[in-house]
Structures are given as structure tokens and as C-alpha cells.
Amino acid sequence: MPTHAYGANAADQALQAMQIERRTPGPHDVQIDIAFCGVCHSDLHTVRSEWGGTRYPCVPGHEIVGHVSAVGSDVTGFRIGDTVGVGCMVDSCQHCSACAEGLEQYCQNGFVGTYNGKTADPPGHTLGGYSQRIVVDDRFVLKIHHPEDQLAAVAPLLCAGITTYSPLRHWNIGPGKKVGIVGIGGLGHMGIKLAHAMGAHVVAFTTSQGKRQDARDLGADEVVVSRIPAEMHAHGGSFDFILNTVAAPHDLDAFTALLKRDGTMCLVGVPASPHPSPNIGQLIFGRRSIAGSLIGGIAETQEMLDFCAGHGIVSDIEMIPVQHIDQAYERMLRSDVKYRFVIDSASLA
């Protein structure tokens, strides 16, 4: 089906309106009329091929919410009109040990990303949520139980929400734990809300003086401006866990120094060029870890959506028409987003 979309034809070209083709739903497919799509920093990294390997035309977008407009003959879990979401994955092998454990994001045969993934559909790679509709295998469609008027603010949960929820759960964050969230952007602001809701003592780290009060309003118990050494030193050796969401290379040692013995800093930001090599002695003397984490599995994404619905958690958003995407990217690069841009898909019509 011909579908209006917005994408780029090359790494150095601005996004523009384009027509794409969506497949006719097969027996296990769900067709979704997209209402809103969040704007993730990964969209920008991909569309500008900062990680390499981008296939063009590139239509980004993996924080998708909308309504079911058709279902295949074998779909039993969804009906026309249901409010649903799609995150960063649209398929995986379903038979490796990772898939068997519900960890499709670590599929040993490679999950299929919602954009820039391999597919039999034209043009041979997946095209994401900066579009009017999408057709997705029912195993990768999530149910949304938030009130309908919050739908736009639910969209960022599909990536920013799960990418912060999954490591917080994996490292057993809860009451009695001191948790740092580094970088108060799309991911970081969700990290603050979720760690707070899990009962942890939350310290936000920001390079932006202007986000001090915001971070408290989001749920941080304390805020540190990471450019001020005295504020950093005051927290030396005190954290159980630090979640680092920064999208640019930076000095990791300043943060590992803040971990307790056996503490972990989990990196989720994927900068286009490497961080300076960390100070290994600082890890050894203290048995500290630097770890990484990738989004979350489908079952855990549903768990996160239900946790957020139960706790009244949504993202703080600024809605834009799709035509403003390039200005939104430039503002994201200046850390000037409060705290996630969301595209109103009606602007594609």
C-alpha cells in the first residue's frame, strides 16, 4: 500500500517527503495507522550514517504508537481499533537461546530493526515510523493501556523507556540503592522517572546548568552539574549503579570514581566515535564494572509499558510536525530538548 513517509536519500541530505510501499498484511501481521512517533538520537546517528552501514532511502523512527487498522487471518491478540506500539525491533530468528529467553534484542542471528534492518519487503530494508502506517508481525506489537489522551507522550517509552527500564531491572534497582543517571535527554529523563518509581535514591548528572530544577521535577533526589569537579567529588565511591546515556565521547573515569566497591556503570549511549580509554586501575581497585545494555525484549517492553501505565509515567514531550525534523535534530545535538520530540503523524497527510 502506498504510504506517505519522511526520510533521507543520503547521509548528507536533509529529510524530505517520500512515498513508500507497505506490504499487504500476511496471516500473522498487524497493520497500524501511526498516530505519533518519537525522535530518538539513534534516528539521527542512523540517518546521517554516523555508525556506518545506513541503507538509503532511510526512513527512521522506532517509537511508534497508533491504532490497528487491519489484522491477518491468524492474528488473535489484536483487533481493529486497538491502541498499540512498536519499538526498535520488528522480527528476530525466534529459535536461538536469546529469543527462547525473550531477549530478542540479543538474537544470535540478529534481530530485524524497525528501520535499516533486512527484509523481503521493498526496498530490501525496513523503513520506520516517520510514516503514516506500518505492517508488523504480531509478536512484535505491544499493547498500550495508558489513557488515549496521553498517547503522544507514551511513544518515547518504546525506545527511551525500555532502554532505561531494562538495565535498571537487570541490576536490581530499588529501595536502598543509590543510582546515577548521566545525561538528561530523551533516555536520561526516562531513567530518572523510572529509577525514582522503583524506589531508588536518584542522582542526576547533567552538563546543562539549566536542567537543575527540571531534573528534580522529574524525580531526582539530587542533581550534579558534571562540569563542576567539587560537585562530582562530593559523591566519590558512593554509587551502586550509574546509567550513562550520553550520546558523545567523554571521560568515563569521572563517573567510575563515583562507584562503590562492586558498583557498575552501564553505558547505553552509542557515540559515533569512541570514548577515551578508561582508567583500568580505577576498576581493579574496587572491583568496579563498566557494562552495556541494548533496549529490551518484547516481554519486558510490555512489562515496562504496564509499569508506566500503573505508575502514571509518560515522557515529557515537545510535539512537532514532521517538516520540522531537521531543526529538531539540530536542537537535539545542542542538548536542547525537553525531553523528547514527538512527530504528529497527521502532518504527513
Binding of ligand NAP by 270 (CB under 6 A): yes
Nearest to 314, CA basis, from 175, 174, 156:
156
Residue 281 C-alpha from the chain's centroid: 32
* Chain contacts with Zn ion (rule: CB under 5 A): 40, 42, 159
Binding of ligand NAP by 268 (CB under 6 A): yes
Binding range to ligand NAP, per CB under 6 A, among 27-35, 40-48, 106-114, 322-330: 40-48
Give the Å distances, CA to CA, from 298 to 91, 163, 303. 10, 12, 9
Long-range contacts of 229-237 (CB under 8 A, 24+ apart): 232/257, 232/258, 235/180, 235/203, 237/261, 237/286
Binding range to ligand NAP, per CB under 6 A, among 111-119, 228-236, 293-301, 304-312: 293-301
Binding of ligand NAP by 315 (CB under 6 A): no
Which residues in 301-325 are b (16+ Cβ under 10 Å) and which e? bbbbbebbbeeebbbbbeebebeeb
102/108 Cα distance (integer angstroms): 12
Neighbouring C-beta atoms of residue 210, cutoff 10 Å: 11
Binding range to ligand NAP, per CB under 6 A, among 131-139, 141-149, 290-298, 309-317: 290-298
CB of residue 286 to ligand NAP, shortest distance in Å: 23
211 binds, among Zn ion, ligand NAP, none (CB under 5 to 8 A by kind): ligand NAP
Pairing label, strands 2-7, 64-71: unpaired
188/195 Cα distance (integer angstroms): 10
CB of residue 281 to Zn ion, shortest distance in Å: 34
CB of residue 254 to ligand NAP, shortest distance in Å: 10
Q: Which residues ranging from 95 to 134 are in contact with ligand NAP (CB under 6 A)?
A: none
CB of residue 272 to ligand NAP, shortest distance in Å: 8
Binding of ligand NAP by 41 (CB under 6 A): yes
Nearest to 177, CA basis, from 194, 160, 198:
198
Residue nearer to ligand NAP on the CB measure, 22 or 250 = 250
Binding of ligand NAP by 45 (CB under 6 A): yes
Residue nearer to ligand NAP on the CB measure, 293 or 323 = 293
Residue whose Cβ sits closest to ligand NAP: 185
Exactly one of 13, 69, 238, 335 binds ligand NAP (CB under 6 A); that residue is: 335
Q: Which residues ranging from 183 to 222 are in contact with ligand NAP (CB under 6 A)?
A: 183-188, 206-208, 211
Give the Å distances, CA to CA, from 69 to 13, 24, 32, 48, 166. 33, 12, 5, 32, 30
CB of residue 298 to ligand NAP, shortest distance in Å: 14
CB of residue 13 to Zn ion, shortest distance in Å: 21
**SS3 sequence, 50-117?**
CCCCCCCCECCCCCEEEEEEEECCCCCCCCCCCEEEECCEEECCCCCHHHHCCCHHHCCCCCEECCCC
Exactly one of 32, 37, 40, 136 binds ligand NAP (CB under 6 A); that residue is: 40
The residues of the shown chain that bind ligand NAP, judged by CB under 6 A, are 40-42, 45, 159-160, 163, 183-188, 206-208, 211, 245-248, 250, 268-270, 293-295, 332, 335, 337
